[in-house]
């Protein structure tokens, strides 16, 4: 009974999502609204401004380098949370005792 | 785990993985890849060494003190590169106007700021993954 | 609603992203093991990345790497791919933190099945 209810609700959600494909612009056309003058500016002017041939690397490290700095902060915060939760302590005394006895 | 095949194969294959990771990091502005994927490839080699040889030998190869210093050094290097632009009188993190050396298009030593930022990101991602793995295994 | 085969073959990326989202949501809701719920969240995040990157696809175009020797070509839109790089790192961070919380739950309760944890907690409140 529970599983039937779950299947019905998820099936209804899938039908609603699939019916919205007809509202999207067709995939792969050059005159989509998402291929506007910002992308054309990046493609035309990235060789003279930055001097690198990889356009995506020029975008994330030169034009928008501040966002990459924020993202390394997210990585740092994640690992600080993990280390503070698990609580790694270093038993330096125990290791020296083992070396002396062994 | 104490398997002879895994230990011998790991010892033979480890330098090639590390050279491939360093290649992807250094050529980040010429071919697909960049800092994040190069750092992940380099960290995978140290995780493989820890899995094959046990936690004690893995921690001797990359102890906790070295990996925490590499991680904080990566972020401070990134911020230090940004401050060079402020000292020259331009906004934070400028590339061409602040006097970084631009080379020719298509060579390794070119594009001013971009290889240094890529190396900083690669070091940061590598030390994050290795510290996560050793912390989760060491608990208890 | 005319269902001809070219409508499915043209938008296969969007359909795949939506089906993956529903599969991930079913995995989170149904299984009672905590690690399987984390895997379901990862599947949902992968489907969103696929949907976002395939917005910028152009038919018959090449990857956005300039080649100084050959002439002008049509490139794929580079902006969605640059935005998704940040999203992937956030997803990895969230998975790592939730796995460490599961380690702490296993220390406190001795099990990682959600049904048994709720049974233990309800017995503690009643007594």
Instruction: Please write the tens of the pLDDT for every residue from B81-119.
Output: 989 888 888 888 888 877 788 877 777 788 788 899 999
| pLDDT band at residue B140 under the 50/70/90 scheme | low
Model pLDDT, residue C32? 92
**CA A89/CA B139 separation, integer angstroms:** 9
Contact A3, A11 (CB under 8 A): no
CB contact under 8 A, C65 and B106: no
CB contact under 8 A, B32 and C63: yes
- Chain A positions in Cβ-Cβ contact with residue B32 (cut-off 8 Å): 54, 56
The mean pLDDT value of chain A amounts to 84
Residue pLDDT, tens place only, C43-93: 999 999 999 999 989 888 888 888 877 777 888 999 999 999 999 999 999
Taking the complete model, does pTM exceed 0.90, yes or no? no
| pLDDT band at residue A28 under the 50/70/90 scheme | confident
How much of chain A exceeds pLDDT 70, in percent? 86
**CA C66/CA C75 separation, integer angstroms:** 9
CB contact under 8 A, B36 and C85: yes
Which of C67, C83, C100 to mutate: most B Cβ within 10 Å?
C100
- Chain B positions in Cβ-Cβ contact with residue C96 (cut-off 8 Å): 132
Instruction: Kindly provide the ipTM of the predicted complex, given to two decimals.
Output: 0.85
Q: Show me where the domains of chain C are located.
A: 5-126
Q: Mention every residue, 6+ apart, whose C-beta is less than 8 A from residue A32.
A: A25
Residue window 4-33, chain C: list those with CB within 8 Å of chain B.
Answer: none
Question: Which of A47, A53, A79 lies nearest to residue B30, judging by beta carbons?
Answer: A53
Residue pLDDT, tens place only, A36-86: 889 899 988 888 888 888 899 999 998 999 999 999 999 999 999 999 998
- Chain B positions in Cβ-Cβ contact with residue C99 (cut-off 8 Å): 136
Model pLDDT, residue A99? 53
Confidence check: pLDDT of A98 > 80 = no
* Bridge partner list, B13: none
Report the pLDDT averaged over residues B7-20.
94
Question: Which of C26, C75, C89 lies nearest to residue A10, judging by beta carbons?
Answer: C26
**Alpha helices in B4-139, H assignment, sequence order:** 4-26, 35-53, 55-61, 64-87, 114-138
* Segment among A57-66, C33-42, C115-124 with least mean pLDDT: C115-124
Stronger pLDDT, B140 or B63, i.e. the higher one: B63
The sign of the torsion formed by the CA atoms of B61, B65, B67, B69 equals: negative
Report the pLDDT averaged over residues C20-30.
95
Q: Which pair of structure tokens corresponds to residue B123?
A: 């070091």
Contact C36, C23 (CB under 8 A): no
Closest residue in chain A to residue C15, using alpha carbons only: A18
| pLDDT band at residue A102 under the 50/70/90 scheme | very low
Stronger pLDDT, B70 or A92, i.e. the higher one: B70
Q: Mention every residue, 6+ apart, whose C-beta is less than 8 A from residue A20.
A: none
Give the distance from residue A98's alpha carbon to the nearest chain C alpha carbon, in angstroms: 28
**CA C36/CA C30 separation, integer angstroms:** 10
Confidence check: pLDDT of C2 > 50 = yes
Using the Cβ of C108 and the Cβ atoms of chain B, whether some distance falls under 8 Å is answered with no
Question: Which of A18, A22, A43 lies nearest to residue C15, judging by beta carbons?
Answer: A18
Residue pLDDT, tens place only, B34-45: 899 999 999 999
Confidence check: pLDDT of A94 > 70 = no
φ/ψ of residue B34, rounded to 5: 105, -160
| pLDDT band at residue C21 under the 50/70/90 scheme | very high
- Chain B positions in Cβ-Cβ contact with residue A87 (cut-off 8 Å): 139
CATH architecture of the domain covering C5-126: Orthogonal Bundle (1.10)
Which of B27, B29, B55 to mutate: most A Cβ within 10 Å?
B29
């Amino acid at each position: 009974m529970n599983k039937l209810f779950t299947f019905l609700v998820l099936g209804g959600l899938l039908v609603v999502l699939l019916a919205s494909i007809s509202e999207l612009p067709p995939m792969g056309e050059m005159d989509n609204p998402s291929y506007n003058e910002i992308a054309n500016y990046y493609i035309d002017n990235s060789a003279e401004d930055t001097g690198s041939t990889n356009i995506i690397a020029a975008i994330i490290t030169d034009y928008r380098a501040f966002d990459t700095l924020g993202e390394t902060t997210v990585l740092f915060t994640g690992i600080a949370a993990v280390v503070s939760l698990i609580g790694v302590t270093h038993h330096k005394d125990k290791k020296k005792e083992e070396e002396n006895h062994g | 785990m104490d398997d002879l095949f895994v230990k011998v194969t790991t010892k033979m294959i480890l330098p090639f993985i590390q050279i491939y990771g360093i290649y992807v990091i250094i050529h980040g502005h010429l071919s697909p890849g960049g800092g994040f994927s190069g750092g992940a490839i380099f960290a995978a080699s140290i995780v493989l060494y820890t899995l094959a040889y046990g936690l004690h030998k893995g921690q001797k190869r990359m102890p906790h003190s070295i990996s925490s210093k590499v991680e904080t050094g990566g972020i401070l290097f990134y911020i230090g590169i940004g401050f060079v632009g402020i000292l020259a009188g331009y906004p934070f993190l400028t590339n061409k106007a602040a006097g970084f050396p631009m080379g020719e298009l298509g060579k390794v030593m070119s594009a001013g700021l971009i290889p240094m930022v890529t190396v900083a990101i690669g070091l940061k991602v590598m030390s994050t993954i290795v510290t996560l793995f050793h912390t989760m295994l060491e608990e208890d | 609603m005319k269902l001809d085969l070219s409508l499915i073959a043209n938008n296969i990326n969007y359909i795949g992203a939506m089906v993956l989202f529903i599969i991930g949501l079913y995995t989170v809701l149904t299984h009672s093991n905590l690690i399987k719920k984390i895997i379901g969240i990862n599947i949902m995040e992968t489907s969103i990345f696929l949907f976002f990157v395939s917005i910028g696809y152009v038919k018959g175009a090449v990857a956005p790497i300039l080649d100084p020797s050959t002439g002008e070509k049509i490139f794929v839109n580079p902006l969605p791919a640059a935005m998704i790089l940040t999203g992937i790192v956030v997803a990895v961070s969230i998975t790592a933190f939730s796995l460490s919380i599961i380690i702490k739950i296993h220390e406190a309760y001795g099990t990682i099945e959600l049904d048994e944890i709720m049974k233990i907690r309800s017995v503690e409140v009643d007594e």
